[in-house]
């Protein structure tokens, strides 16, 4: 996995912060809410939120599986980074960001300059 590309995409989104949690997971957040998690230790995998339809489709595809602990919230674990083009990766991360952003209060979105 190219962690620098993942960082570049995530950090290009408005009001995103990054933090290492649980010792070896790089988390990308908006208002403290995670929208992407990358494992910094081998095997390098990463997870993000998808729609229910995408979740059902992706879990049937090689290189993807339900994310541990987060599958019930439609999070996908990418085990084979090569299964996604740069454009697909950017689109999935953008949609995950938007889904998480939509759960943030309007007041907080205004504070962050997102409204």
pLDDT in tens, 75-99: 999 999 888 999 999 999 999 999 9
Contact 110, 101 (CB under 8 A): no
CATH of the domain at 44: 3.90.1150.30
pLDDT in tens, 10-61: 999 999 999 999 888 999 999 999 999 999 988 889 999 999 999 999 999 9
Expressed as residue numbers, the domain containing 42 is 3-107
Look up the pTM and report it: 0.91
For 21, the token pair is: 């949690």
**C-alpha to C-alpha distances, 19 to 3, 33, 52, 83, 110, nearest whole angstrom:** 14, 11, 27, 26, 23
Q: Is residue 7 part of a domain?
A: yes
- Could you report how far apart the first and last alpha carbons of the chain are, in Å? 33
Does 51 fall in a domain? yes
Whether 113 is covered by a domain: the verdict is: no
In degrees rounded to 5, what are phi and psi of residue 100? -70, -40
How many structural domains compose the chain?
1
With beta carbons less than 8 A apart as the criterion, state whether 100 and 2 touch.
no
């Amino acid at each position: 996995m190219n962690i620098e590309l993942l960082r570049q995409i995530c950090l290009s989104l408005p009001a995103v912060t990054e933090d290492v949690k649980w010792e070896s997971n790089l988390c990308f957040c908006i208002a403290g809410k995670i929208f992407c998690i990358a494992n910094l230790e081998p095997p390098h995998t990463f997870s993000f939120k998808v729609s229910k339809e995408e979740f059902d489709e992706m879990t049937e595809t090689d290189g993807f599986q339900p994310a541990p602990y987060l599958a019930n919230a439609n999070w996908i674990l990418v085990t084979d980074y090569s299964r996604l083009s740069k454009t697909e990766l950017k689109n999935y991360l953008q949609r995950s960001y938007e889904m998480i952003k939509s759960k943030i209060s309007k007041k907080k979105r205004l504070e962050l300059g997102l409204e």
